[in-house]
Every structure is written in structure tokens, then in C-alpha cells.
Structure 1
Amino acid sequence: MMDSQENILEKGNQEVKVEETAVETTENNASPAEERKVYTTKKEVLDRVKEIAHGEEAPQKEEVEYLKTAFYKLHIAEREAQLKEYIDGGGDPEAYQITPDEDEEVFKAEMGVIKERRQQIFREQEAEKEENLKKKQAIIEKIKAMVTSPEEASKTYQEFKALQQEWREIKAVPAESANELWRNYQLYVEQFYDLLKLNSEARELDFKKNLEAKTRLCEAAEKLADETDVISAFHQLQQLHQEYREIGPVSKELREEIWQRFKAASTVINKRHQQHFEDLRAREEDNLVKKTALCEKVEAINGEENKGSGDWERHTQEIIAIQAEWKTIGFAPQKMNVKIFERFRAACDDFFARKAEYFKTLKDSFKENADKKRALIEKAKALQDSTEWRSTSDKLIALQKEWKTIGVVPKKLGDQLWEEFLGACNKFFEARNAAGAGQRNEEHENLEKKRDVIERLKAVAEEAGEGLQEKVQKLVEEYNAIGHVPFKEKDKIYEEYHAVLDKLYKELNVSVAKKRLNKFKDNLKQVAERGEGALDNERQRLMRQYDNLKQEIHTYENNLGFLTASSKKGNSLIEEMNRKIQKLKDDMQLVKEKIKAIDAENNA
């Protein structure tokens, strides 16, 4: 008989462990999303927090954590909305200051009260559990004493029933002692009933009543399988288990059967409860993966370089979109929910803090650039009434170049400053252009005069006969005496003039050289008549002249190598030098011919 009872009790203890595991699971994973109240304002959250902090109910950890998450979710959304409203209203983002939130201070204070209450309640509960343990241990000792006196069992029956009632009224004990305590209690209760010397009718009646009570509990447990609310069904089952424990035994032949029925019904509810939380944990784990990915996206954006306001604005829009996506994702596992939120918030705060610092620095840069531009405006205004056309033009052009080197300022202010600067410059240049109108007319007249000289040079080039060199020289002097021409026409008329002049000089050089050589040859006989060494002396003079010309040509050619034609002025200088070199070469060739003529005369 004792072996059978111990077997039943051991199985009962196994079920108790299942119950306790399930209860622990419930405590650690309570407040699923479908049971949680949705808070839409911080006031609603604060009202509930104050109610918990100053009410009679014991604060529940899961609800407190949920309230904390809900408050800061609303708090951040409110702060972002305030910033957006400020910017949309034309506010300067870098000048925005986050004002202290009185609600947040109240929330923190109330949460501190709740924390203290929870700690106090925990200490009280632990003390109460220890006291309950001592009371239940005392009851076990009393029942144990009854079991050791079989002859007194019938006399102490009412006292035994009173002890059972007292046991039921005593609440929780320390978890580490619960199973052992229950095992001992059940053991001695069973032993008492086995030793109870009641009359058969009373004993059977007691067993019958216990069987009816346990059967009703089995039916109630089986009906819970149809309960749609898994959490409610599980909690109701815990209550049924508590009641089942408090009911006395049934007849020995039915004990195993009724227990197995109750256990089977409990298993169905426990499995549904376990599956519910496995599904919930799976969703929460999936939410954690999604939220971790969003954290990594924000952190990656933080790692990118922002080269200007455009990059900051683009990344801001990206982060705002990520924050909107974050709000669509449900809770992560409880142990990670606050941590992942803090990671996300820290990444977002880091970005917006650096953005604010950038625009603060940019604002300082804007001010510095604006001051520089205002200084240039003052300089331009000081020159706008000047009549020193050439020097003032150069100064204003230099100021315009300097303006371009100054960094940007806000567009609206930049447009105003530019208009003011441009106005001062235009005032001077308009006055200069008005004053230079007469000068331009004179330059156009000079252009026509130079074109007329070029046409006469072309006509001279077609002529032949004596006096050609004198005619060309006269026209060159006339051309040089003419003043400036329009700047745009200067290079063109210069090239046209020198093209004609180069052609004339080439022809004149050849003609003059021939005449000079023939005249030199005619005079050689007169030189020879001066004496025996006269021709040699003349030849030595010509050789020195030849060497000097050669050296001078070499010097010009060497200098020519250092010049470039990167500008119109540089190109004109090269052309002029080339003409000089050609003239020296022609002179050197004439000297060479003269030397040959002396050598021919000596040979004759």
C-alpha cells in the first residue's frame, strides 16, 4: 500500500514540477502584445505609473518595463515632431536647443518610487515565504505525530481536517523548499487516511465526496481546452491544480485513474501555453533581428562622410525613414528589448548631435564669410565714384576675384550681399563706359587710318624703281604715329601690318644688298691702289664684322628659346625677334659675299 502511495505521490510531484515550470515561464514572459494596453500619450503612461507607485497593487516587472518602453517611444516621437515643426517654421536646425521635459523628470521620479516599492515588496514576500515555510513545517510535524499514534487517529480526525484547512490558507513558500515540503505533507496525509479508524460508511462517504470534487476539477480542466485565450486558460489551470491539491484522497483503486485524467487535461493546456510562448519568442527573436539590422544601418550612415549640407540632409531623410520602419516592428525579447532600443537611440542621437555640431560650425563659417564679403562691399563702395578708370578697374576686378574665393553664406543673405557688391561695381563701370565713349570713337578712327596705311604699303610693294625704301620708311613712320585702335582689333591689324611690312623688307633687303655688294666690288680697285696690305685689312675688318653678327644671332636665338607663345603679347614678341634675326642673317650674308669678292680680287 505504501509503495503504491509513494508511486502516486512521486507522479504527483512530477506534475507539480511541470506546474512550477509553467508558472515560472508565465512570470518571465507575461504581458504578451495582445494583452498589453496601447498608450497614445505620455499622460496616460504617467497616470498608470503614478497609480502603481502610490496604489495598493504590487508593481509587476513586465508592466513596469513595458511602461518604460512606451513612455520613451512617445517621448522621442514628441521630440522629433517638435524639431520638425521648428524646421518647417523656418528655424535654423543648428540653433535648435532641446528643452528639458518636465514629464520625463516626473516619470523618472515615479519610476524611482516604484523601484523602491518593488524592492520592499520583494523583501516582505521573502520574509513571508520563510514564515509560511515554518508554519507548514509545523503542520507536517503535527500530522506526523498523528500518524505515529494509530489508536488516536479517529479521535483526532477533526483536528486533522482543521490542519488541512490551515495548510490551504497558508500561501507561498520559498521555491527551493516547495517540492520537498509538498512531498512530506502528501506522504503524511496519505498515511493518516490509511490509518484512520472510521466506520466504513463515513470513510466511503469522504472518499466519494473527494472523488466528486476531483471529477469536477477534471471536467473543468478538460473544458479549458476550448478556451481561446491561452493565457487565461493556463492561469485557470493553476487554480484548479491548487484546488486539486487541497482535496483529500479518493479510494485507493481510483486514485491513479482520477490523477491520470486530471494530468492528461493539464498536459493539453500546458502544451498550448508552451507553444504560445514559443511562437511569441520566435516573433520577438525575428523582431530583434530586424531591429538589429536597422541599428546597423544607422551605424553605417554614421560611418559615412558628410561633405556638405546636402549629404547631411540626405542622411537625415534616410534615418527618419529607418525610424518610421522601427515603429512598425513589434517588441524584441524582454531581456534585449530595452538594450536594442538604447542601441538604436544612441546611434540616432549620435548622428543628430554631430549634425547639430556641423551646422553650428557652419553657422560660424557663414558669419565669417559674410563679414569678409561686407568688407569687400565697403571697399567697392569706396571706389565706385573714382575717375581713375584704369587703376580703379584693376582694383575692382581684383575685388571680384577675391569675392569668388570666399566661402558660401545662406542663400537669402548671399543674394543680398551680392546685389549690394554688384551695384557698387556697376556704378563705377557704367561711369567709366560713359566717359570712354569718345575714346572708343577715336580708336575706331585710328583703325581706319591704319588700314589705309596698310593698303598704301601693299600698293608700294607692287611698285619698282628708285626711292622704294624711302616710301616704305615714310609710311612706317606715319603708321607708328597713329594712336590706339579698339582692343579687339589690335592683334588682327598688327598681324596684317607686319605681314605686308615683312614682305617689303625682304624685297628691299635683297635689292639693297645687291646694290651695296656691286658698289663694294666697284670700290675694290681703289682700295687695292692704297697699298699692298689694304685689301687684307679690309678683309680682316669684314671678318670681325661677320663674327660679331654671328654672335649677335646666337644671342637672339638663345633668348628666343626662353620665350613662349602662351599669350598674344608673347607671340608678338617672338615674331619681332624672328624678324631681327632674319635681318642679321641677311647682313651676315652680305658680309660673306664681300669677303668672297676680296678673295676673288686677290686671286686676280
Structure 2
Amino acid sequence: MSDINKLPEAEETNKSNSNENSIELDGNQNVESASLKDAETTHDAIEGDKKLEAAVGKTENEKEENPNSVEEQDEVINEIEESNAEDAEDEGNKDRHKIKVKEYDTMSLESLAIELEKLLKNEKVQAIKSHVDHINAVFKTKFQALLDEKKEDFVNDGGNEIDFYYSSPIQKRYKEAYKAYRKKVNEHYQSLEKNLKQNLADKLEIIEELKGLLNLEENINTTYKHFKELQDRWRNTGPIPRDKYNNAWNSYHHHVERFYDFLHLNRDLRDLDFKHNLEKKLLIIERAEELAKDDNVMRSFRELQELHKMWKEELGPVGREHREDIWERFKAATKTINDKRQLYYKDIDKIHEKNLEVKLQIIANIDAINAQESKSHSAWQKKIKAIEEQREAFFNAGKVPIKVNENTWTKFKESVRTFNRQKNAFYKGLKKDQYKNLQLKLDLIKIAEDNKDSDDFEVTTPLMKKIQSDWKKTGHVPRKDSDKIWKQFKAACNHYFDRIHAKRNAASQEQVDAYNKKNELLSTLKGLKLPSDKDKGLATIKEYIKQWKTLGRVPNDKRYIEGKFQKIIDGLLTRLKMDKNEVEMIKYENKLDSLNTSDDNRNLDNEHSFIRKKIDEVNSQINQLENNLQFFTNVDEDNPLVKDVHNNIKAHKESLNLLKNKLSKIKELY
């Protein structure tokens, strides 16, 4: 607070007397700050404005001009004193404005749980109440929406509503954090209650000592020094129970007044206090006038409340010739800040109205999507994505006026539920088609298994190829059956074609000769010493690979020799200091040559499917890692965990490039 923070402690003061040397209180009491409690919330902040405006709006002169307002003025003072008592009971609440208020409404369930854990770990438990209340309200609303969707899906899939159960790890994590918060709150208030009682006893003891000052027969300077020590002790004693606050404060000020009456005998000490208080109050006024020019309305108002608290509770009276002037000047700055704050809240209302327009448009967008007719799986997938985008936009649109909040939320839920009902109806029909397809494929499996041992190759081979073609043309089946029936069908077809290949291999003397030659070449490669030059070494290996290819195919039951050759070549390539991806591609090309030995390309088909599957898996892992990065908000890029994620993404992308190169090589062979 600029120079205000540098002020030395000043003595406390209290209500004024009619005596010339008495201490001013009425004017001071009229500037007591409104409660800081829950100032983050709109409702309490507006109430604070009303209290402060009412408190500073009526001076003693105004009371004389409008005597009918005295009762109203007393009511305001009572409210302010109750507010001060509430604040004084828990001084930890002073820190709550230092905690940044985030856009909790736009956060995901997981982000809300993480944010609660951070607040609990890094902040005082008494300072985070409004934040936790907001997080808790948003979490409950969003989780209930998720629960409603899961329940509706469960019922639409044929489940009984009474049997529905849904458990979420995020919900469990959040509940644990919230339970820890409640425990800390209880511990805090148990400790606070004990301290409040002790502080009350200490302050009552100070009051008793103040009473005794008037009866001491000692030098006035010694007595005044003792008085100042008691004031310091009073200020340094912590908070007391709120129901005792006003009585203790009034009693303390009553005896301070009596001491100042007593001090009338020594004008020098009294005038020195008046001068000191005037200097400090002028500094407070100057700071208030600076705040009146500040564009940050909420920050200015919060600091203004502290200035009023200092004016009332920390500084004593000034000379009568200055009292009205400085009070009017302070009141004028206060009114300027308060007027700006009222305008700020009018703007907030406009923002909420704008948010309402956005949310109503989102609901209209969802209704428009619901009106679209979709008859294919791909069309419904697009609609599902569009609805999810609208749903996220709704949650990110911000607050709406409280009076329409519940109604807007109800409309949104009903629109989303309508979509879910339509989606579930479509996929129920799709499941019926899938079960029909399942039966068709089971029939194809029976044909394959009935003919897999047939020796009439001329008739059976076209039949087996036809059912393979029919299998591809038949649509999707239920996911739970897909892998099982495919393996069964594939096994029957492979069994048949393996028998054909085995018969051909047995009758091929050429393939037997090729096997013998390849066996001899393997013996040569086992003792091969490569040149020290990398390029010459690579050329030597490629020459042997080329030679191997020229030897031709081997019998089907001797194909294991290709694996032996591949293993030896892999070992030789490893000994060369080459780029690992280049080595991998040379190995892979050699592997493909060994696979490309069938007339029906079955081995290549299997390899092609395997590589495609690996590419999908790596893409999925990259997407997951990149999504994980989004949870690292406000985290430095040098953070070890963030670095590790980036390194994983880089490694997966390198692997993806290698897989794509392999896929290209396979396509070249078709």
C-alpha cells in the first residue's frame, strides 16, 4: 500500500465525548470497512458495497439535517461492527484475495480435482473456502451430467435402472481431496477456538490495567509510557470470539477515552498524538485518492477496506480544526471507488447476459443436430463429435444470471438426452444388422472347415477363394465376436492352402536343390569377416543377400532356413557402424524377400496387416502423450516430467516414420 506499509504503529481510539480533549469516534465508526468475508462471490461483494456506501454516506452533519435517518444509521453501524467481529475472529481470511480465482467452470473433472489438491497443498485452509465451494459446485454439476449420460446409456442398452452403478477414479481422487480439506478445516477451527479464548482473557487483563492507570501516583510521562505499552499489547493480541468483539472493543475504548481526559492535564503529550495521527491519516487519504484513479476496481476496493480498518482501529483522533476536512476528503475518495465498483458489477451483469445468449445458441445448435437424419455409422460419428464440441462450448461459456441458471441447465440436459436417445436407437438397429452378419460369417466358416481337407483341388480352390471374397464383402459383426470368428475362418483357409503348398513343395526337386545351396551359403556366412571400411562391409553383405535371392525358393517344410539367414545377416549389419533406421530397412527388405514366396500373397497380407496395426497403435500412443501435455498447465518446459513426455513423443514419431517406410516396401511388392 505504498507508504502506508511503512507507518509506525499508532494508538487505538474510540468514541468521542463532548469534552474538548475527547477522542473522535462517530466519524471514524462511519468508515468501518465492510466484511471481507467471501468477497470473491458476486452476492457478498455487492452486499459489501451497500454496507460501505451506507456507512460512509452519512456524517454527523447529515444526521442533524435529517434526524429521521438516525435509526437507519445505527442499523448500518451495527452491521459493520458485526462484520468486523466476523473478520477479526479469523484473521486468516485476509489472505484469500491473494489467491488467483481461476475459470473453474471451464475445467474438466480431472483438472478440478488437481486444482483442489494444489490449493490444499499450497494455501492456508482458512483462505480457500470460497475457491473450494466454487470447485465443489462445478464438480458436482459436471459429474452429475456425466452420471446422467452413463445411466441413460445403460438403460438404453437394456439394463435395469435399479442395477445401474458407475464408478470413476477421478471421482474417488476428488472425494479424497475434499475429505482432506474438511479435516483440515475442522482442525483449524478447533485450534482457533482455543486461541480465541486465550486472546479474550489477555485483552480483558489489558482493560483492567487501563482502569488502574488513573489511580497511579507517578510521573505523567511514566504513566503515558505505560499507556502506550498497553496499546501495543492490545494491537498485538490476536483475534477473539466474534460475540465478545464489540463489548471488549467498546470497553477498551471507554477506558482509553478516560485516559485522554486524564491526559488533559498535559496538553503537550495529547497534541503530539494529534499531530502524529493527522500525518498518518493524510497518508491514508492520499493512498485512497490514488486508488480512486486505479482501473483495477476490485483490487482498489479491497485495499480501500483495509484503509478504513486502519483509520478506525489503528489511528487515534486529530485536532478538531482538521477533523471534518480530512473526513470529507477521505469520504469523497471512498465514494469514487465505490461508484466505479457499482459500474463494474453492472458490466458483469452484461457479461452474464451475453453468456446466456451464447448458451441458448449452443442449445439451439444441439437441437438442429438432433433434427438431422443420419443412417450410417460414419454420419453418426460426425454427429457425436459435433455434440461433444457443443457440450464443451457450453461448459466453457461462463456464468449466466442466477435467475435463469437452473432453467438453462435443464434445457441443455434435455437437448443432450434427446441426442443420446436417437443415437442409442440407431445403434440398437445397427446391432441387429451385425448379428445378421455374424450368422453369415458363421456359415462361411462352416464351408471352409467342411472343405479344408479336400483333395479335389481343382474344384475346392475356386470355392475357398470365393468364400474369402464373400467374407470381405460381409459387413461388421459385434466387436466381442470379431477376433474369434476371424481366427477360426483364417485357420481353416490356411490349413487348406498349406496343404496345396506342401504338395507342390514335395514335388519340386528345384526347391530341394535351392535348399542345399542355401545351406552351403549359410556355412560360408558364419565364418565371414567383414572389411573394416563401412561401405565395403555393407557392399559385401548386400552381395551375399543378392546371391541368396538368386538361389530360389526352398520347400515349404524347409523355410526355416530363411530365418537362419536373416539372423546371420542381422548380426553382420549390427557390426557395421550405420544409422539404425538404415540397418533396420535393409533387414526388413531381406525379411520381405523371404516372405514373398507364396502365389497367393498370404504372407505379405499378414505382414501388411501387422504393420498397419502397429502404425495405428503408435499413432494412438502419440495422441495420448500429446493429450497428456495439455494437463501440464503453468509448468516450465524444463520440468523433467514434461521433458520425458516430449522425448517419448519424439521416439514414437521416429518409430512411426520407420513403420511407414516398411509399409511402402510392402506395397512395392504387390
TM-score by length of 1: 0.47
Larger radius of gyration: 1
Larger helix percent? 1
TM-score by length of 2: 0.43
